[in-house]
Structure 1
Amino acid sequence: MTLQDALKAEVDGEVRFDAGSRAAYAHDSSNYRRPPVGVVVPHSVDAAAAAVAVCHRYRVPVLSRGGGTSLAGQCCNEAVVIDWSKYCNRLLSVDPDARTAVVEPGICLDDLNSQLSEHRLMVGPKPSTHDTCTIGGMIGNDSCGASAQAYGKMTDSVVRLEVLTYDGLRMWVGETSDAEYERIVAEGGRRAEIYRDLRALRDQNMALIRTRYPDIPRRVSGYSLDQLLPENGFHVGRALVGSESTLVTVLHAEISLVPVPDHQSLVVLGYDDIESAGDAVPEIAAYRPLALEGMDDYLLDLARMSHLASGTVLEEMPEGSGWLMVRFGGDTRAEADDKARALIEGTRDASPPPRCAFVHDPEEEERLWKVREAGLGATAYPPHHRDTHEGWEDAAVPPDRLGSYLRDFRSLIREYDYRPVTLYGHFGQGCVHTRIPFDLSDDEGVRRYRQFAIRAAELVSDYGGSLSGEHGDGQSRGELLPIMFGDDVVRLFRRTKRIFDPDERMNPGRVVDPLPINEYLDLHSYHPPEPSTHFSYPEDGGHFSHAAARCVGIGKCRSSSGGVMCPSYRATREEEHSTRGRARLLDEMMRGDVIDDGWRSEEVKDALDLCLACKGCRSECPVNVDMATYKAEFLSHHYAGRKRPMSHYSMGWLPVWARAAAVAPRLANTALNLPGLNRVVKRVGGIDQERQLPRFASERFTDWFRRRPRRTAGTPVVLFPDTFTNNFHPHIAQAAVRVLEAAGHRVVVPPRPVCCGLTWISTGQLDQAKKRLRRTAEMLEPALRAGVPVIGLEPSCTAVLRADAPELLPDDPLVPLLRETARTLAEVLDEEQATLGGPSPGASHGLVAGLDRDPVRALAQPHCHQHAIMGFDADARVLRRAGVDVEVLDAGCCGLAGNFGFESGHHEVSVTIAEQGVWPAVRDADDSTAILADGFSCRTQIEAGTDARPKHLAEILADLLPEGDEDSEGGERAKDADRSKDEQRAKDGQRRSGAERRA
């Protein structure tokens, strides 16, 4: 029986040795690549223990993995990877009085803190990856984060651990009194042997451990043998924290908790440079803040260029080129603010005093804090500079020597010409983050990287610091540990390894007998042939190979709440169905090693199948991975010269079928919705049987517009008649006409059909998409050259004009004009400051509304493509000026996403996504609250699962206009009676279907 067969037979879980799974787990967030032997996703902690037992029998290495965000290479190895995050993620118990909790290792930090919030408790350490990292990973890595300034490292949070050795011993370990030690030894067996050997190691080397471990708050490198000292209670549990899965497998953890600060305040101190900010750290730390972070001007510039910092946030920053961000907490707002004011008053005597800013608005404070948290993403691909990498990104020195260290470290960077480099980090504890533009693609670049790392290690050691102050040793620093600790302490590490793992099968090559730092470097072996592509990939130098390798593994796509990405991961909890997992498969496809059939790969196709192409990752991924574009590119090559899925012909060619249906829309509706025939149509078209087919309007918007009287007065705007609005919801375009004319515009509609090509793009039929985009640009040429705004009502279509079109047709001279003139309705009204209460000062036009109307409340579900490309700020401002109190949902994708939710086999995932966010939010809304959803998909999905009748922005604004302000044809209020009846019947059927599913 093979290892794989044995695991499948004996482990209650998912056992995967396929190429796709191995590709998805071949990387972490480091410079290294090691495809695993296989992957086990256990259904329970006991199942994980069974997997280790099988691996022990077959003498195969084992590696535990949580969020997979390790930056030093400790989470990728040629081993059986145990992924704890999908199933072993429970909070088992909480003791609010003792402030402790028992958890499984796969629980995400933010999810755990959310569950603890009812007790007003939280985990102390909070890394920047708090929305994706797991407690098991934090224990393996001894995680810290900014909050470690107040609450310490993960070492300080561990009370006890239940661990499993490779040879099968399962035990709880923690602080060990002399009496407990004697009891354990008296019982005999493997546990007694481990404790006896650890005590002997400690007693024989007590002086060495006390003198060679740096006395600093951020020592993460090496094994924590100092926790075995008598003054630390011979704490075997804490001694295992930070051991990177090289000694034991953690099964459960009992951790201590801290109270959630009721109120926080933020002071930002500006200095002439980052080194001066470092000099000031001891003085500022004396005020005992919750966090004390440092940041230089280059990081702020990168945040601005990456759109991580808004103009409002930047205005809060005091003058300077280096800053300290100082956070205080208190039981009351006054207490937190008083601490901040005391700091500001105290710094007046400094020479020279820093410039100070006191951030009063909690929302602004949080946005500013996120700029610092997003450092890794902002610095990975600096515009107009070489890509940067980890390799020396988290060293720590005594805080009182930080300024001097920064000067010497910057000199070393200049010596190697590794510039520009940003310096930031947890300055209150002397931890400095940076990413350096190492050239890791050729032998000479790797040689220089290795030489620099040795010099940097020597510099840190001279300062009495730690090679790692947060990210661990992994492969990046394991080889350098003798420089920091000396050979004698490293021999103790080897002795510790043999006590717990005599077979040396636990994550081998890390900490003990480490691999050289220059072995298995990801980019050193990455020289794939460059394929010919449809998209131009301007942010990747025109290279798809660079785009495929763009992901740096931060894992923000694995968050369980908030933001847009990644909806399919949230529904499946599968690495392969996260943006990161898909990016890893595309990367491996380009390498041709694990995945060796290129564009024809079924593994890549399967991973991309559940990608909703929502484009959330384009804006929310810290390094702007654009999986929707990559999916379209892949599908175009995968199906080149081959038969496509039927959904590509039915929904991909929707604009063609819609034009045909316009000849006899009622007949088309009847034919498509007859029982029996309806099922046949769906089966032939690759459409899921659970979905109701959209109903064509009895009259298209363009036909309605053509027969209405022409308006000659006003500033011209072009209204783009997209397929969805024109053929299914023409009343929205009619409402937009009414709003625009009330704002003083003359609405122009193209005389012949235009199309953005969206449905062809989403199905990877890119030649067809380009053909239609060219035709559309030519049709609009007079308006484009005149600079007339082209207003899109369907967000996904507007996003194509703004983003996809320039990347599909980079050499077409009209496309840049199309991108510049394409606007949403809200953007046009916002730019002109149009209001529903009359014209704003300086505006030439205004929308006039009655002043005696009742307050209007709206709940908005922004379309994902709008979120990614245009944003919702203009909409919010327009609504606010119109007197609409709008709440913008942070519920993620609706789950329909164009053709995705209609395609056969996607319904369950689509509904799961909706139930995780938008459906509950809409159902909970007050009956008087308008549901705002500009996207056709969003409206369709909301109607499918709720009783709501969502509206477009144009409808809400039109409803606020005075009753008499209608055109001669009755305008938007002359709703299509057939549509109302037909859609109500379809909605009733959908509601019954949804109710049956929920029951």
Structure 2
Amino acid sequence: MNRFAEQERESLASHLRRSIRGEVRLDFPTRRLYATDASIYQMEPFGVVLPRDADDLQAIVAIASEMRIPLTPRGGGTSLSGQAVGEGLVVDCSKYMDAILDLDPIQQIARVQPGVVLDTLNRSAEAHGLLFGPDVSTGSRANLGGMIGNNSAGARSIVYGKTIDNVHRLDVVLSDGSRASFDALTQAEWEERAARNTFDGQLHRTVQGVVERNRDEIDRRYPKILRRVSGYNLPELAAPGKKGLHQLIIGSEGTLALTAEAVVKLLPRPKARGLLVPQFATLADAMNALAVCLEMSPSAVELMDQLLLELTAGNLALRDTTRHIDRRAKAIFMVEFSANDPAEVVDRAQKLAKRLSGVPGLITCLTAIEPSIRDPLWNLRRASMPLLYGMPGDRKPITFVEDTAVSPEKLPEYVARFKEILLRHGTDGSFYGHASVGCLHIRPLIDLKSAQQVVTMHRIAEEVADLVLEFNGSLSGEHGDGLTRSEWNPKMFGPILMDAFRQIKRAFDPKGIFNPGKIMDAPSMASNLRYPPDYKPTEPRTVFDYSKQDGFLRSVEMCNGNGACRKTTGGAMCPSYRATRDERDSTRGRANALRHALAEGADLRQRWLHEVFDLCLMCKACKSECPSNVDVGKLKAEFLQFYYRGRSRPLEHLMVGGLPYMQAWLSWVAPIINRIQGSSPGRWLLEKMAGIDRRRSLPPIHFQNFRRWFRGHRPDPLAGSRGSVLLLADCFTTYQEPNVARSAVRLLERAGYTVKLADLFCCGRVWISKGFLLHAKTWVARQAATLAKKLGPDTTIVGMEPSCLLTLADEWPELVPGPDTRHVAAAAKMADSFLAERGELRLRPMESPCVLHGHCHQKALLGNNAGATLLRQIPGVKLDVLDAGCCGMAGSFGYERGHFDLSAKIAGLALLPALAQRPAHVLAAPGTSCRHQIEDLSGRKALHPLEIVEKQLEPEPNS
């Protein structure tokens, strides 16, 4: 429980709202969502504040100092050591203070706010051939402020060093609310600053005195290795040459000041990169080969062990890449070479491969120079941490001794000794990370729900701390001390330096408001755990099957907080977060909300939970792009089933759920219906009654629907020459876009297949999306049994609408587990994929360029190239496949009152700008929602890929 009284919360809220322009959130749901980061810890904060600028930061610090409320700075919330959780006020700079204020390519510097995401900075720098050196694996969501607080490094630190080596100046807010600017000073400049009768002057005097009195102890205690971030950075201040207090604040984990701005160094971006991937029979073989790998001056040497290789093979988004890895390999290195000359990269990779050829235990070496092979392989390593936590079950590879660092030449013996500790305690772990600099991320398998296992964790941590000191290493190589390692700092630094740390802390922060309990005066690393001793969550009865995840609860718990859902570009996850930049609208926020509710045994029908899930578009991007494969779309459907149990449904839910029943008879009066829904009074009425935003145009209903057309259709002469298929004529295509289904039939028949209708009245998608799961379950059980009887051993069910066809493949087996649904799922295939594989169509060249926007479900379950393969078979086609995220429509979501603005905003983030850059392109989109969103918001008509391909059909010679 939080130790602060409710009346203090109200007083703080009042003070803050009068003083800052940013957001002040002290409500119960927000406190729950910010209680965790990516670590094993949980501490409910007093509240959360989201400042808009440095003035807000000053006001926040001044008020917190006056009220003695602790402050915990937070960026992307990706800390693995618990630095971003605390019981005071969380200061989240990621939403508003995320600007690149200036980028000077001549001086090779950038001035940034603390909330700037690393990848965002690097995209801007790339335009000038530059980059920011430290490249953490969480770069898609890691904030520069967090990297400064942690002194982050990344895979290429052997070349670029740590954050401390790449920062010119810090502008900070001190504990009295004043601003200060710190950069490198000569000795004379330092003494001039120290002579000032100011808070700044006092800090320079104190730090100089601490360093002078403890020079010998600093030299004796700090390890002489590159990857050392434990404690405060006193060696940098004891070294000759220029120095500044910014070096002390970097890596101080928010315990000394809040960063308001930073001027960072940019470096030339290598023009060429390449990988050599040696693959070994054992982990020991890999360790013994490390010295050889380092001989060729690589820019990185990254290790992946057997457990990680197995997990990548089972990950939806990564499994295709693992075909490059020999199945016999139990450990691999990714040895990266960088240079401006591509020939040099190839030469060094070849020379290393030759040097390794005689190394014991080497199975094979893969050279990956082409980006199409190199980049996916590199991404395997970047996904390592969250992949591990996505393992089902309670015993997981957790972070608590994952960041130790020793000299690389000592790694073989160190790893062997580390494994002995784990075996002695009855467990094992995963070994991966930055072998090039001796900083391996070793994660023991521990069940934190077991009190005995928590004791084991603490014992392992103590023994590992002793092992690290024996090897003259560092307890932390980049993740920092936080709640995980601060307890062991007295072992590493001794009483003299711990006292020096306290002197510095008292000088900077006399009231102790800046992130207390980190680096010094820490609680036990076994306290404040995400799963406390009294953790007894509810395991509710569900409609979906969660046996693959060991139950609904564990499906929720698979979210470890790594924050991949907070990325702002690339892929589709998470469209609502990208639009709002709000933690509660992220995949992580929703999973955390459910976990808290289950942990407290609470009724899942609470309104605040509904608000958290409301903006989830159920796009399924998290099912594949979340490294832990947390499927929040599925969780939302289950939640809605819980939420509306015994509660009246809104009329719009009933109307959406009734669409499959209504469309057939609406088709009989299509002209009247279309006239009504297209009129202003009709739109007003639909908004009032059905919740459909009046700004939306509804797709017209067709009197000549697909089923009517099909009954009178005369098959192509080639139909049946190669077999038959069952066509899933979904209700949207049948009644609203029959032209798409007609194109599908013509193409399939021309390819030699007889087309039979699957006679499936509805796939159940609309019911699943609104949480009518019991109805969907009953329906699917009946339909699957009927459909399975129609399937021969080689029968394929082909569909045109991704969301409907893939419901058969994805949701059906989890709604009704059994042979019928498994048989149907195995037979289901998108029509464009089927034709690309078996069509052998004769097509005319296409002169106009074409651009494809993939459907989110198709991208998540089949990959972004699934729809592109058929289009590429058109001779001469110039095809762009967009990586433009979600269109924002998501079935009925974008039509609904209250969702229209967000839907349009999502489309405007990437999709609409990408289309505007291609005014002459033919637009292809396999999803009906995507096509209507594009037409509504851009005024341009998009076609289904099947329509485009049909237009290019060569006429048959006899026709």
Instruction: Pick the TM interval, shorter chain.
Output: over 0.9
Contact 1:319 1:355 (C-alpha < 8 Å) held by counterparts: no
CA–CA distance in structure 1, aligned partners of residues 858 and 104 of structure 2: 44
Q: Partner residue of 2:828?
A: 822
**Is the 1:226–1:239 Cα contact (8 Å) retained in structure 2?**
no
Matched residue, 1:996: none
Distance 1:820 1:362 in 2: 33
Q: Which residue of 2 aligns with 1:537?
A: 546
> What's 1:745 paired with?
753
Measure the CA separation in 1 of the matches of 2:385 and 2:648.
43
Pick closer, same or farther for the CA change 1:165–1:789 going to 2, 3 Å. same
Instruction: Report Cα offsets for 1:798-846 as digits up to 9, x if no partner.
Output: 1211111111122x542112211111113323443x322xxxxxxxxxx
Distance 1:316 1:630, change over 3 A: closer
| Displacement of 1:27 | 0.4
Residues 706 and 738, structure 2, Cα contact 8 Å, conserved in 1? yes
Residue of structure 2 aligned with 1:584, choices 588, 592, 596: 592
Distance 1:857 1:349, change over 3 A: same
Count of equivalent residues: 945
Q: Select which of 705, 722, 725 maps to 1:700.
A: 705
User: What residue number does 1:103 align with?
Assistant: 112
| Compared CA separation, residues 472 and 262, structure 1 to 2 (3 A) | same
String of CA shifts for 1:153-185, please: whole Å, max 9, x gaps.
111112221122222232112223222222223
2:564 corresponds in structure 1 to 556
The DSSP-based 3-state class of the residue aligned with 2:693 is coil
Question: Secondary structure, in 3 states, of the residue corresponding to 1:624?
Answer: coil
> 1: distance between equivalents of 2:381 and 2:225?
23
Most deviating of 312-321 and 916-925: 312-321
Q: Quick check: 1:759 aligned with 2:752?
A: no
State the partner residue of 2:16: 7
| Counterpart Cα distance in 1 of 2:321 and 2:766 | 37
For 1:824, give the aligned amino acid: M
State the alpha-carbon separation in 2 of the partners of residues 800 and 401 from structure 1: 52
Distance 2:320 2:862 in 1: 17
Mapped partners of 1:910, 1:127: distance in 2: 32
Q: Match for residue 5 of structure 2?
A: none
Which SS does the other structure have where 2:273 is aligned? strand
Note if 1:411 corresponds to 2:420: yes
State the 1:966 CA deviation: 11
Moved more, 641-650 or 862-871: 641-650
Where in structure 2 are there 5+ consecutive unaligned residues?
Answer: 1-9
Task: State the match for 1:801 in structure 2.
Answer: 808
Equivalent residue of 2:246, what SS?
A: helix
> Which residue does 2:53 correspond to in 1?
44
Say if 2:382 is the partner of 1:373.
yes
Matched with 2:348 is 339
Output the CA distance in 1 between the equivalents of 2:720 and 2:97. Answer: 67
Q: Secondary structure at the match of 1:651?
A: helix
| Distance across 2 between alignment mates of 1:223 and 1:464 | 17
2:479 is equivalent to residue 483 of structure 1:
no
Q: How far 1:350 sits from its partner (Å)?
A: 5.8
Q: Aligned-pair RMSD on alpha carbons?
A: 2.2
2:905 maps to what in 1? 912
- The verdict on how the C-alpha distance between 1:644 and 1:685 changes in structure 2, with shifts beyond 3 A counting, is same
Match in the other structure for 2:338: 329
* Residue pair 1:388, 1:435 contacting (<8 A) in 2 also: yes
Deviations 1:62-101 (A, max 9, x none): 0110010000111111010111011111112233333222
Aligned pair partner of 1:676 in 663, 681, 690: 681
CA contact (8 A) 1:101 1:254 kept: yes
Q: Which of 665, 668, 675 pairs up with 1:660?
A: 665
The 10-residue stretch of structure 1 (641-650 or 128-137) with the greater mean CA deviation from structure 2: 641-650
In the TM superposition, 1:691-730 aligns within 5 A as: 691-709=696-714, 714-730=722-738
Aligned match for 1:961, one of 945, 950, 953: 953
Q: Does residue 134 of structure 1 match 2:143?
A: yes
Rounded to whole Å, the distance in 1 between the matches of 2:579 and 2:30 is 18
Distance 2:350 2:819 in 1: 57
Cα shift at 1:794: 0.7
1:901 matches 2:910: no
Partner SS state of residue 914, structure 2? helix
1:910 CA displacement: 0.8
Select 1:870's aligned residue among 862, 866, 871: 862
Please state whether the residue corresponding to 2:908 is helix, strand or coil: helix
CA distance in 2, matches of 1:166, 1:888: 51
- Could you list the per-position Cα deviations for residues 756-794 of structure 1 after superposition, in whole angstroms to 9, with x for gaps in the alignment? 111111111112222332332244232236552111211
Counterpart residue number, 2:458: 450
* Whole-angstrom distance in 2 between the partners of 1:849 and 1:306: 36
Give the CA deviation at 1:744. 1.3
From 607, 611, 616, the counterpart of 1:606: 611
Return the alpha-carbon distance in structure 1 between the equivalents of residues 829 and 582 of structure 2. Answer: 37
Provide, for residues 660-702 of structure 1, a one-character-per-residue CA deviation record: whole Å limited to 9, x for no partner. Answer: 2022211221222233133112221001111011110122211
- Quick one: which amino acid aligns to residue 910 of structure 2? G
Q: Output the CA distance in 2 between the equivalents of 1:15 and 1:966.
A: 74
Structure 1 residue 561: Cα displacement: 0.7
Distance 1:702 1:628 in 2: 31
Greater alpha carbon shift after TM alignment, 226-235 vs 401-410: 226-235
Name the residue aligned to 2:519: 511
The residue identity in structure 2 corresponding to 1:891 is: A
Match of 1:921 among 889, 894, 914: 914
Partner of 1:235: 244
Contact 2:281 2:329 in 1 (8 A): yes
Contact kept in structure 1, 2:150 and 2:250, CA below 8 Å = yes
In structure 1, list runs of 5 or more residues that go unmatched.
837-847, 968-999
Residue among 58, 68, 74 paired with 1:65: 74
Bigger mean CA deviation after superposition, 473-482 or 918-927: 918-927
Query: Offset at 1:109?
Result: 0.6
Report what 1:574 is aligned to. Answer: 582
**Structure 2 letter corresponding to 1:775:** R
* Shift in Å, 1:469: 1.1
Deviation, 1:340, is 2.6
Residue equivalent to 2:651: 646
SS at match of 1:356: strand
CA contact (8 A) 1:91 1:112 kept: yes
- Counterpart of 2:280 in structure 1 is 271
Decide which of 785, 788, 791 is 1:781's aligned counterpart: 788
CA change 1:192–1:642 in 2 (3 A) is: same
Tell me what 1:974 maps to.
none
User: Residue 932 of structure 2 corresponds to which residue in structure 1?
Assistant: 940
Cα displacement string for residues 576-635 of structure 1 (whole angstroms, at most 9, x for unaligned residues): 11111111111111122xxx8531222221121111111111110010111111111111
Match of 1:398 in 2: 407
1:167 and 1:663, CA in 2 relative to 1: closer, same or farther beyond 3 A?
A: same
Q: Which residue number corresponds to residue 981 of structure 1?
A: none
Identity %: 36
SS in 2 for 1:653: helix
Match of 2:479 among 465, 471, 486: 471
Inter-CA distance 835–713: structure 2 relative to 1 (3 Å threshold): closer
Residue 50 of structure 1: how far off its partner (Å): 0.8
The answer for the alignment partner of 2:165 in structure 1 is 156
- State whether structure 2 residue 397 is matched by structure 1 residue 388: yes
Question: How big is the shift at 1:312?
Answer: 5.6
Secondary structure of the 2:948 match is helix
Equivalence for 2:4:
none
2:640 is matched with 635
Q: CA deviation at 1:385?
A: 8.7
**Whole-Å separation in 2 of the counterparts to 1:153 and 1:597:** 44
Match of 2:573?
565
Quick check: 952-961 or 267-276, which moved more?
A: 267-276
- SS in structure 2 at match of 1:642: coil
Structure 1: distance between partners of 2:946 and 2:191: 77
The AA in structure 2 aligned to 1:328 is F
